[in-house]
Amino acid sequence: MEIDSRNRLLGLKARIRFARNPAPADEEELQERYLEIMAHANRSPDSIGRVTPPPRAPDRALRFTAPALIVTSSAPHRTQETPMKTTFTVLLATLSLATAAAAQRPQLTPEQEAARAAERAREMAEPRPIEAMESLWIEELTWMEIRDQINAGNTTALIMTGGVESNGPHLASGKHNYSNKLMGPSVARALGRTLIAPLVTLEPGDPSRAVQPGNTGPMVSQETYIAWLVDMGDSLRSMGFKEVYYLGDSGGNRRGMQEAADRLNAKYHGNPTVFHHVPEFYNHEHVRKYIQEDLGIPEEMEYTASSGSDNLHEELSIDAIMSVIDPSSIRYQQRVKAGRGSINGVSLEPLEKTQELGRKLIEFRTKLTVDAIQALRASRR
């Protein structure tokens, strides 16, 4: 029907007009906008009816209410068969709450700005009503606990990056994430005054690969990955952290971590936060050498290789560390039952022996990483 198309056009024009300048100053301006909308709709205002502006609301309510325009009509409209009296309402409350709030927020005087800042400062200084819980993981702390940790000088943050990938028939695809759950706290405790950001559990790759059951992921593009790491580091800066270190357990993460650190250092020049990628954390060559030479365990794997004699993307160091946090992540019971309780010529039995090795490797990797971070700190002095 003609009236339906008119209504749709009217609503569209009105929404466009209000999106450009959503807060009319007074009733006269509201009437002026209405006349403009009617002109776009090729209708005479007299044939439409009158404009009823929305009731004024207190400033506080205006922050949460989008403007509304109500148009009523009692003009007759005819079809080929029957005259029809119509009444229609156009509600211009389609703007998002955020847009409406920004558009209608009153301009504050310097005194009001100062009062608001003082109130915010008072809220941020409120004491905890309960005893604090101790944790190295930021996500496990309340905002008050995070605040108090930072105010106490715990201003170093770790961003641990892992991933989800294909690791053969024995290992959970998130092997790097399992490892980071243990390595993060170990490094944080050794450094002191350090907290850990939520784990970055996805790695960069090609998310648009052809469909193939068995593809492992999910993954994100390199562009998305770098943007994610930049925003995480920047957000930690805004929280009050002064040192942010990117530690990656997967080789494919190194480019993104270095790029993120470089961008943030170029942006802030160390004021007040410095950002570093620590490549020494990805130290599997050193770990393989340590296992074979220092511990005398004859794993059949070259130091620079990504697989050993079993031709799997799996190795003793990873199995040992994962077994500490969860033996099922290496399918310990299932593989032993199937006669596959070894990797690269080294038995994983008994489980306790493998877990003890895992603890030694966590300690070894932690020392390499902390030494590298201390060297970075010394270079900035």
Burial of 242 (0-12, 13-18, 19+ CB in 10 A): middle
Give the model confidence (pLDDT) of 281-339 as tens digits: 998 999 999 999 999 999 999 999 999 999 999 999 999 999 999 999 999 999 999 99
Q: Which residues contact 238 (CB under 8 A, 6 or more apart)?
A: none
CATH class, range 138-380 = alpha beta
Q: Is 296 left (phi over 0), alpha (psi -120 to 50) or beta?
A: left
Residues 278, 282: Cα–Cα separation, whole Å: 8
Tell whether the torsion through CA atoms of 254, 259, 260 and 261 is positive or negative: positive
- If DSSP states are collapsed to H, E and C, what string results for the chain? CHHHHHHHHHHHHHHHHHHHCCCCCCHHHHHHHHHHHHHHCCCCHHHHCEEECCCCCCHHHHCCCCCCCEEECCCEEECCCCEEECCCCCCCCCCCHHHHHHHHCCCCCHHHHHHHHHHHHHHHCCCCCCCCCCCCEHHHCCHHHHHHHHHCCCCEEEEEECCCCCCCCCCCCCHHHHHHHHHHHHHHHHHCCEEECCCECCCECCCCCCCCECECCCCECHHHHHHHHHHHHHHHHHHCCCEEEEEECCHHHHHHHHHHHHHHHHHHCCCCCEEEECHHHCCHHHHHHHHHHHCCCCCCCCCCCCCCCCCCCCCHHHHHHHHHHCHHHHCHHHHHHCCCCEECCEECCCHHHHHHHHHHHHHHHHHHHHHHHHHHHHHHC
Token digits of residue 212: 């193939």
Token digits of residue 167: 């690791």
Q: What angle do CA 191, 194, 196 make, to 5 degrees?
A: 120
Q: What is the mean pLDDT of the chain?
A: 83
Residues 195, 218: Cα–Cα separation, whole Å: 27
The pLDDT tens digits along the chain (381 residues) read: 454 555 555 455 555 444 445 544 455 555 565 555 555 544 444 444 444 444 444 443 333 333 333 333 334 444 444 444 433 333 344 334 445 555 566 799 999 999 999 998 998 899 999 999 999 999 999 999 999 999 999 999 999 999 999 999 999 999 999 999 999 999 999 999 999 999 999 999 999 999 989 889 999 999 999 999 999 999 999 999 999 999 999 999 999 999 999 999 999 999 999 999 999 999 899 999 999 999 999 999 999 999 999 999 999 999 999 999 999 999 999 999 999 999 999 999 999 999 999 999 999 999 999 999 999 999 998
Beta bridge partners of 50: 72
- Domain limits, the chain: 2-104, 138-380
- Full-prediction pTM beyond 0.75? no
Q: Which residues contact 94 (CB under 8 A, 6 or more apart)?
A: 15, 66
The answer to whether the CB of 282 falls within 8 A of the CB of 311 is no
The answer to whether the CB of 216 falls within 8 A of the CB of 165 is yes
- For tokens 């010394």, name the residue: 378
